[in-house]
């Protein structure tokens, strides 16, 4: 694999850390800025909304730029956004800085995935995308817990200064290692938008929505499930989250190899396994060791889908790879919000915490039906991505 993929992975690590680390720093932020905890929680929602809406807009605005230049511009926005987060002296400014930072998120992952796939031979494209997204999984395994600890020790602003510093290292790596593609075809806005007139593309994006919904219906409420149903201590929850992060990382790597072999089989298998392990967790959550094993397997199955989803979307929208790849990140964030809402609705309806993994399984089954319908409509196509 080219060294430039490591620069993309480091960038993904920085972006993933700044998205999720705020969850562990909400009490410190709320106390320092003198707002309620629910108000501070909107910093998470504001970021997700910025990703969902900003991703396709940024993809269109940067359509005429070379991909290498676009990625460096997006990382520059990321660095400036995190500096503004560290300097924000009130809640409104911090929210604005979070939204500005989010603008680069979706476009970077979308365009970065296209670039990652273009760096390797056709048979290794999904593995290249998986390596880039390993930075995102490592953000959950290492970046979030270390960033939370750092913020608790030195103040929440110090975490954003640290993430900005990682962003500087990442942009240096991109400048030094990413090749300039002189054969890159010029992109026209009309062709980018015209490529969206594809039913299989929208079905593929719908797969991503239900994948993320199935994931976050369970993941959003994993802490109270472990505390109240499994009976794990708060320290045990942290170790379980580390175990889940390890499962996500392993699954992402294995999923890349599986998708290189056959995208359709990879998606069908992973949707089925997510539904199975989610449903199984509603029972195993009452036992410590069974819960830990089930969650590790669930995490592996979950992120094993990511490379296949990204490759599948670009394959169906190959006339506009930047835009459709970025739209896939927007679809992921929409699914994030949907899944958290569905899980919360199950609890609010009085079904209890053990209903959460069941609702996640149902969302995965809906995604599986969309997947089967999509591939039934699709003709056999080469699973390559245009550079």
CA dihedral 157, 160, 165, 170 (to 10 degrees): 180
* Closest to 89 measured CA to CA, from 154, 158, 33: 33
Query: Dihedrals φ, ψ of 36, to 5°?
Result: -75, 160
Distance between CA atoms of 123 and 111, rounded to whole angstroms? 19
Do the domains spanning 4-187 and 192-377 agree at the CATH topology level? yes
Instruction: Write the pLDDT tens digit of every residue in 224-274.
Output: 888 888 898 877 877 887 888 888 888 888 888 888 888 888 999 999 999
Distance CA 138, CA 332 (A): 18
> Quick one: pLDDT at residue 189?
58
Burial per residue of 147-176, b for 16 or more beta-carbon CB atoms within 10 angstroms, e otherwise: bbebbeeeebbebbbbbbebbeebbebbee
Three-class SS state of 367: helix
User: For residue 382, what pLDDT is reported?
Assistant: 47
From CA 254, how far away is CA 79, in angstroms rounded? 31
Distance CA 125, CA 115 (A): 10
Instruction: Quote the CA–CA distance of 27 and 35 in Å, as a whole number.
Output: 10
Question: Shortest CA distance to 77 belongs to which of 130, 18, 25?
Answer: 18
Using CA atoms, how far apart are residues 278 and 214, in angstroms rounded to an integer? 9
pLDDT of res. 284: 93
CATH topology of domain 192-377: Growth Hormone; Chain: A; (1.20.1250)
User: Which of 214, 225, 205, 208 has the alpha carbon at shortest distance from 342?
Assistant: 214
> Domain 4-187 belongs to what topology?
Growth Hormone; Chain: A; (1.20.1250)
Structure tokens at 225: 């499930």
Pick the closest to residue 163 from 90, 104, 247 (CA basis): 104
CA distance linking residue 118 with residue 330, whole number of Å: 22
DSSP-H helix ranges across 119-155? 125-138, 144-154
pLDDT computed for residue 387 by the predictor: 38
pLDDT in tens, 7-64: 999 999 999 999 878 877 877 888 899 888 667 777 877 888 888 888 888 877 887 7
Determine the 3-state secondary structure of 232 from DSSP: coil
The answer to whether residues 165 and 63 touch, using CB atoms and an 8 Å cutoff, is no
CA 100/CA 215 separation, integer angstroms: 26
- Locate the domains of the chain by residue range: 4-187, 192-377
- The rounded distance, in Å, linking the Cα atoms of 95 and 299 is 31
Angle at Cα 184 formed by Cα 12 and Cα 378, nearest 5°? 75
The stretches in the chain having pLDDT less than 70 are: 1, 37-38, 181-195, 318-320, 378-387
């Amino acid at each position: 694999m080219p060294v430039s993929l490591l620069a993309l992975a480091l960038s993904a690590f920085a972006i993933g850390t700044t998205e999720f680390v705020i969850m562990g720093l909400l009490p410190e932020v709320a106390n320092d800025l003198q707002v309620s905890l629910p108000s501070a929680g909107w910093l998470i929602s504001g970021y997700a909304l910025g990703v969902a809406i900003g991703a396709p807009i940024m993809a269109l605005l940067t359509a005429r730029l070379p991909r290498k230049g676009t990625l460096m511009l997006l990382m520059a926005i990321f660095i400036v956004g995190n500096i503004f987060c560290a300097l924000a002296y009130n809640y409104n400014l911090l929210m604005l800085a979070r939204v500005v930072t989010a603008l680069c998120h979706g476009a970077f992952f979308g365009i970065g995935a296209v670039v990652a796939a273009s760096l390797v031979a056709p048979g290794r494209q999904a593995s290249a995308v998986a390596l880039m997204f390993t930075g995102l999984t490592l953000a959950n395994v290492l970046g979030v817990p270390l960033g939370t600890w750092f913020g608790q020790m030195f103040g929440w602003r110090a975490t954003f200064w640290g993430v900005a510093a990682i962003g500087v290292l990442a942009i240096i790596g991109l400048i030094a290692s990413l090749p300039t593609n002189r054969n890159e075809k010029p992109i026209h806005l009309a062709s980018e938008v015209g490529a969206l007139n594809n039913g299989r593309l929208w079905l593929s994006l719908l797969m991503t929505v239900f994948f993320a919904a199935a994931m976050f219906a369970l993941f959003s409420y994993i802490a109270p499930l472990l505390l109240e149903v499994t009976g794990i201590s708060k320290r045990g929850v942290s170790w379980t989250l580390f175990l889940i992060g390890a499962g996500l990382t392993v699954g992402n790597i294995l999923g890349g190899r599986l998708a290189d072999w056959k995208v359709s089989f990879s998606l069908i298998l992973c949707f089925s396994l997510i539904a199975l392990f989610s449903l199984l967790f509603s029972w195993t959550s009452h036992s410590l060791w069974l819960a830990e094993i089930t969650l590790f397997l669930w995490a592996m199955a979950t992120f094993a889908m990511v490379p296949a989803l990204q490759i599948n979307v670009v394959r169906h929208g190959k006339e506009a790879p930047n835009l459709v790849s970025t739209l896939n990140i927007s679809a992921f964030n929409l699914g994030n919000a949907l899944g958290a809402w569905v899980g919360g609705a199950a609890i609010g309806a009085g079904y209890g915490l053990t209903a959460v993994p069941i609702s996640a399984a149902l969302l995965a089954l809906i995604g599986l039906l969309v997947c089967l319908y999509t591939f039934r409509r699709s003709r056999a196509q080469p699973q390559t991505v245009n550079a």
